Structure 1
Amino acid sequence: MRIVLTRHSDQTGDLEAGLRQAGHICVHMPLTQQVLPEDRHELSTAIQRLEQGDFSWLLLTSANTVRALVSCGWSGAVPEKTRVGVVGPGTARVLEQRSSVNVPWMPQDHSAAGILAELPTPDPGTELLLPQSAQARPVLAEGLTAKGWNLTQVTAYATVPLSPPAVDHLTPELTGDDAVLVTSSSAAEVWATRHVSGVRVLAIGGPTAETLSRLGQPADAVLSTPTADGALQALAQLDM
């Protein structure tokens, strides 16, 4: 089966590798790209404070966040006293490639809900740096603040549509034997504008599925985990 991934090839990693190992053909159809903020002063200041040891924790919620920090001058180094947390294995893999951090903290549930449920309770006044996408939902930041973290939240990047979207080139080739794996809410917003019919659509997680439904393009299946195993289970549910 051909599975269309709405990411660039350098962002699919273990997800693509697992699908190929299972015998599927993977095609890349990136719908969005990440750009650094026009005004990077706040982000640069946060990176400087991180390297100076001002934060007890650095929390990273996507591989794109890691790439953005490095692009804005982060050396990849963190002081010994600073703990680093990641949302899931994809973020951990990119972090290990780009930094000196080898074993970050990671929740068993690779989601914002998992972070909030499993992150240790902080001592009063404990400083945590949370760099995120400009489009990040507020639930994580609000939850961390409610749990007592002294939070510094900064915009690391913004996700914007590719122009022209790659879907314009691939759409004529898509058939009912193909599956499209929509890999983010931002990608879902672009996908929904193209009104492609006749293919099965998988959402990489709940937020992406919610976006697709809100825009009138509901997913045929939702991955239980944002991994190759999750995708294979979703495909099995669809008898594909």
Structure 2
Amino acid sequence: MSATHAARKGSSRTGSVAFVGAGPGDDGLLTVRAVERLADADVVVVDQLDRDAVIRAHCRADVEVLDAGFGEDGQPMTRASRAKLVAGAAKGGRRVVRLMDGDPATFTGLTDEIAACRKVHVPFEIVPGVSAVSAVPAYAGVPLTPAGTDALHVVHPHGVDVDWTAHAGAHSTVVVLGAQDDILGAAEGLLAAGRRPATRVVVTANGTTVQQRSLACTLGELADLLPAATLGRPMIAVVGDAAALREKASWFENKPLFGWRVLVPRTKQQAGGVVSRLADHGATAQVVPTISVEPPRTPHQIEKAVKGLVTGRYEWIGFTSVNAVRAIREKFEEFGLDARAFAGLKIAAVGGVTAAALREWGIQPDLVPTENQSAVGLLEVWPAYDRMLDPINRVFLPRADIATDTLVAGLQEIGWEVDDVTAYRTVRAAPPPAEVREAIKTGQFDAVVFTSSSTVRNLVGIAGKPHATTVVACIGPQTAKTAEEHGLRVDVLASEPSAEALIEALADFGAALRLSADEAGEPVLRPSQKRPAGRRSAK
């Protein structure tokens, strides 16, 4: 527990509560003010939806999390119980964030919780959030008020006897929130009140998340089609001419990898960019660490090389991975050095990602291959040693303990002396949990993305081969060759050796599958939904 947090908990002054709208499910819909309040929170009181990712991303590690959805007996909390919990959490001067699904002011217990705060003199504020009323239809491709709309009705019929005649206007849009029975009851009530059976309806469940599913039909068809659709919950229905716009405006569920579950065998430190790019295309990534990056067993060699770098022993330093950059940066910090120690030294990077890691450190590399971003490509552009131009003939290569000799041998052939130094070790990670291994082997993942040959070898070693239906995407020819040597068929190959190009290639593959299904008049199925028996084999 931090000293600041402990001091506040021990304080006799009254704390505060911020009622913060968390949006309908997509974590990216948090407002700037919401993020600020989460960063300052001592306690976060969560609602019905899982907000673990939001808390990990925006709160301190020592934040206390309280569940306002269910009590200790596992039963749903009453509004009164939630209000008491929220007000009580502010005792001892603690800053509380009451994280409410959607917008706090829309169909929540906000008024009860405000009353509880006022009763014990706890100051509060309200941070509006993105409401499910508008966000879920928007993610379903349904703008709520097309031309000619004369009214917008929002109804939450749960436990309320609704007079549907007030919502039955032919040119109105009706948004209904609730469970399946609420939606079906609303359809029955609207039909009885005079709304035409041909009126368009879109029902969406799990809106704004990659589990989102929508059903488009007419009001007259809904009673037959909705139970069979098994969409899930929570649900929102849009009734009216607005629902007809989905045919042209649907975008979220049409993303090329929408709903795909993608396996990312990589270290957690390196997976962030891949995970975010997959999310942009509608996929959910699951990172399975296949290697652990650790310091050398004996630090003498790397320490000697770093000291030689400072004293002018080298003309060049060549970085062949982000891990190498990280290892040298950590060693610099250990010695009290910074990027200024590279003054007068020529710096090479194997590719754009490694170059970006150097720039983040404040270092602009002198040499980066533009086409073949690999050890071979770096060697192709590396200038030969010229004793008239180069005052020093030595190169420092901080690399992994399992690095190949291609670059070293090539540099020596063009006249350079090379100090090939182990800067870090790559150790095979422990096997993932049994359920993850089972998911890999039985085809529950739609795709796997391999970013190096070692990720192929290590994944197969600790978890087994991916199932035959799992799409295999590789970052380059060498990685693809390794995959084929392990009995895998490669479906996707990046146009260039970068994580961005790899995910774009996978997205193009997904888009082609979607287009092929549409042209054939068939439902769009994810690879995991087409699982024959057997394992994948190479062609």
| TM-score bucket (shorter structure) | 0.7 to 0.9
On the 8 A contact 1:213/1:219 being kept in 2, the answer is yes
- Of 317, 326, 329, which aligns to 1:58? 317
1:52-201 map, 5 Å: 52-73=311-332, 75-77=337-339, 78-97=341-360, 99-108=361-370, 109-124=372-387, 126-163=393-430, 165-166=431-432, 168-174=434-440, 175=443, 178-193=446-461, 194-197=464-467, 198-201=469-472
Aligned match of 1:236 in 483, 505, 508?
508
Report 1 or 2 for greater relative contact order, CA contacts < 8 Å, sequence distance ≥ 6. Answer: 1
Answer whether contact 1:202 1:219 (CA < 8 A) is retained.
yes
2:65 corresponds to:
none
Deviates more, 1:14-23 or 1:140-149: 14-23
Distance 1:14 1:64 in 2: 15
Residue pair 1:192, 1:217 contacting (<8 A) in 2 also? no
Q: Which amino acid aligns with 2:458?
A: V
* 1:203 alignment counterpart: 474
Given the superposition, is the C-alpha separation of residues 43 and 218 from structure 1 closer, same or farther in structure 2, using an over 3 Å criterion?
Answer: farther
The 3 A distance-change label for structure 1 pair 229 and 23 is: farther
- CA offset at residue 107 of structure 1? 0.8
Structure 2 Cα separation of the partners of residues 76 and 94 of structure 1 = 15
Letter in 1 for 2:363: V
Question: Structure 1: which 5+ runs fail to align?
Answer: none
Between 1:146-155 and 1:99-108, the stretch displaced more is 99-108
- How many angstroms does 1:48 deviate by? 0.9
Change (3 A) 1:50 1:100: farther
State the SS of the aligned residue for 2:314: coil
Task: Report the TM-score when normalising by structure 1.
Answer: 0.87
Distance in 1 between residues matched to 2:489 and 2:413, nearest whole Å: 33
RMSD of equivalent CA atoms? 2.4
Structure with larger Rg: 2
Q: Distance in 2 between matches of 1:24 and 1:150?
A: 47
Partner of 2:81 in structure 1? none
With 102-111 and 84-93 compared, the bigger mean Cα shift is at 102-111
Match of 2:466, as an amino acid? V
Deviation of 1:30 (Å): 1.3
Range moving further from structure 2, 149-158 or 64-73: 64-73
8 Å contact 1:6–1:29 — kept in the other structure? yes
Shift of 1:168: 4.4
In structure 2, runs of 5+ residues without a counterpart are 1-259, 514-539
Other-structure match for 2:190: none
Deviation at 1:86, TM superposition (A): 0.7
Structure 1 partner of 2:535: none
8 Å CA contact 1:13–1:90 kept in 2: the answer is no
Inter-CA distance 123–228: structure 2 relative to 1 (3 Å threshold): same
Partner-residue secondary structure (3-state), 1:11: coil
Distance 1:26 1:219, change over 3 A: same
Secondary structure at 2:342 match in 1: coil
1:227 is matched with which residue? 499
1:27 maps to a residue whose letter is: Q
Give me the identity figure in percent.
26
Q: TM-score, length-normalised on structure 2? A: 0.41
Tell me how far 1:177 sits from its aligned partner. Answer: 5.9
* Residue of structure 2 equivalent to 1:212: 483
2:70 — aligned with what?
A: none
**SS in structure 2 of the partner of residue 224 of structure 1:** coil
Output the CA distance in 1 between the equivalents of 2:420 and 2:269: 27
Q: Which segment is superposed worse, 2-11 or 85-94?
A: 2-11
Deviations 1:39-80 (A, max 9, x none): 111111001111222211110000011122233345342332
Q: Tell me, in whole angstroms, the C-alpha distance in 2 between the residues paired with 1:184 and 1:167.
A: 23
| C-alpha distance in structure 1 between counterparts of 2:465 and 2:433, whole Å | 10
Higher mean C-alpha displacement, 217-226 vs 58-67 = 217-226
Q: Give the equivalent residue in structure 1 for 2:139.
A: none
